[in-house]
Amino acid sequence: MTDDRPMTVEFLQPEEAAQVNAALLSSQEKFLVRVTIYGLRSLRQISEETGLKIEAITPDLVASWIQRDPSIHQQVEVDANFATFFSNLVVSSIQPLRQISEENNTAISELTVEQVIAWYERQAKRRVEQK
């Protein structure tokens, strides 16, 4: 039996939130991890719907997707300012995702939550070691 409901994107599953909370990161870094994970999830869905590679997704495509995604509308009131802000937030996650995919020698679309967290932990460790 197939599920014909529209696919929705969750910000973080409880077990993922626990993984992020357990990471050896500052509060600000944990926030960036959460944004990156949600960005990855959103970009995957947009990529599936459009047939475009994640790297080719633009803020305009994200804004259009936000206007159509019922799960976002259930959680926040979407206006032009929010759509612009949120689109830029999602698109900005492409840069760290690109770096994570290169380090892991895998496509962005195949990255895991664990790989994202581990990359941020390595970045934080490098910053501490350079001080």
For 98-123, what is the mean pLDDT?
96
Residues 6+ apart with CB under 8 A from 125: 24
Q: pLDDT of 23-35, one tens digit each?
A: 989 999 999 999 9
- CA distances for 118 relative to 39, 42, 114, angstroms: 17, 20, 6
In sign, the C-alpha dihedral spanning 16, 17, 20, 21 is negative
Determine the Cα–Cα distance for residues 104 and 102; give it in Å rounded to an integer: 5
The proportion of the chain whose per-residue pLDDT surpasses 70, expressed as a percent, equals 84
* Contact (Cβ atoms closer than 8 angstroms) between residue 46 and residue 61: yes
pLDDT of 71 > 70? The answer is no
Determine the Cα–Cα distance for residues 131 and 128; give it in Å rounded to an integer: 5
Q: pLDDT of 6-56, one tens digit each?
A: 444 456 788 988 999 999 899 999 999 999 999 999 899 999 999 999 988
* Contact (Cβ atoms closer than 8 angstroms) between residue 55 and residue 43: no
Determine the Cα–Cα distance for residues 97 and 103; give it in Å rounded to an integer: 10
